[in-house]
Amino acid sequence: MTAGVGTPVPRRPRTSRRSLTVILPIAFGIAFIGLWYLTSTLLLSPSRRFILPMPHEVLVEAFLTPKNLLALLGPLGTSSVIAMLGLAIATVIGIVTAVLMSQAKWVEITLFPYAVALQSIPILAIVPLIAFAIGYGFESRILVVVLISLFPIITNTLFGLQSTSPQMRELFTLKHANRWTVLTKLQFPAALPALFTGLRISAGMAVVGSIVADFFFRKGESGIGLVIDTYRNQLNGEMLYGAIILASLLGLVAFWVFGLLGRLFVGSWYRPDAR
């Protein structure tokens, strides 16, 4: 018997596409900064310029002055830790919930409305409740992060667990494989791409959650959200924008890290455009 039938599918050249994906965003960034300068020089009178200081002013004041940079990086670190802890807890709870839902339809039917509710209730509305129940400390901030990042993990993981074809499951039925085997050898690997999609979304949400929580739960080491609030009160435009930019970068990095992790874990086999 020969192996002559068919050859490995060749990869299509990607170089031009890839350079575009770098050039276009950079061009957009430059245009954006240009627009920023225009707004702050032409639209705002000098007395109101603190509302939107010019980019280089923010750069010098917030990022190139070591003392000021440190004043931002400390809280940023705190916010990152809170976001990561909350995300880790949400990941465990989310995966366990999705697995339970995938194993028994009645669990899914019972819990899904609450998962949706979790997504729909404005987090600000239950903040007083959290404060009332567990106080103004670290734990409350983490809880906000968990609540805000849980839903995408549950739904994406559940979708992934249920994405296996009936015929794939029959391979396991032929061997009378038990639920655990089907879960670990079929459903869970199949769910990994979707799980990482969920994690990526949730990572961004977690950063948002930790910043929002800062505004309300002020006990303990301050996070970047508290710093933003402080500079806002002080009308310190340069530092305010510096803090906002760092917070945004944190969200971007979180998104990017999980994209990278996803590619690391499933990139060797997952082809979104296949099928």
User: Cβ of residue 265: shortest distance to other proteins, in angstroms?
Assistant: 10
Q: How many residues bind other proteins (CB under 8 A)?
A: 30
The torsion region of residue 176 among left (phi > 0), alpha (psi -120 to 50) and beta comes to left
Q: Is 2 in the site for other proteins (CB under 8 A)?
A: yes
DSSP per-residue string spanning 223-267:
-HHHHHHHHHHTT-HHHHHHHHHHHHHHHHHHHHHHHHHHHHHHT
Q: Which residues of 114-124 are buried (b: 16+ CB within 10 A; e: fewer)?
A: ebeebeeeebe
Interatomic CA distance for residues 129 and 216, integer angstroms: 12
User: Cβ of residue 189: shortest distance to other proteins, in angstroms?
Assistant: 5
User: Cβ of residue 158: shortest distance to other proteins, in angstroms?
Assistant: 19
Contacts of 205 (CB under 8 A, 6+ apart): 148, 149, 152
User: Cβ of residue 192: shortest distance to other proteins, in angstroms?
Assistant: 7
User: Cβ of residue 187: shortest distance to other proteins, in angstroms?
Assistant: 11
74: Cα within 13 Å, side-chain hemisphere: 10
Q: What is the identity of the amino acid at 24?
A: L
Question: Which segment (112-120, 214-222, 234-242, 263-271) binds other proteins by CB under 8 A?
Answer: 263-271
Residues 137-166 binding other proteins (CB under 8 A) are 165
Q: Is 264 in the site for other proteins (CB under 8 A)?
A: no
Interatomic CA distance for residues 176 and 44, integer angstroms: 73
Q: Which is nearer to other proteins, 107 or 261 (CB)?
A: 261
Residues 37-76 binding other proteins (CB under 8 A) are none
Residues 179-198 binding other proteins (CB under 8 A) are 181, 185-186, 189-190, 192
When binding is defined by CB under 8 A, the residue of 177, 183, 245, 261 that contacts other proteins is 177
Distances (CA, A) of 146 to 5, 52, 89, 92: 52, 33, 7, 10
Q: Which is nearer to other proteins, 60 or 266 (CB)?
A: 266
Sites of contact with other proteins (CB under 8 A): 1-3, 5-9, 165, 167-168, 170-175, 177, 181, 185-186, 189-190, 192, 266, 268-271, 274
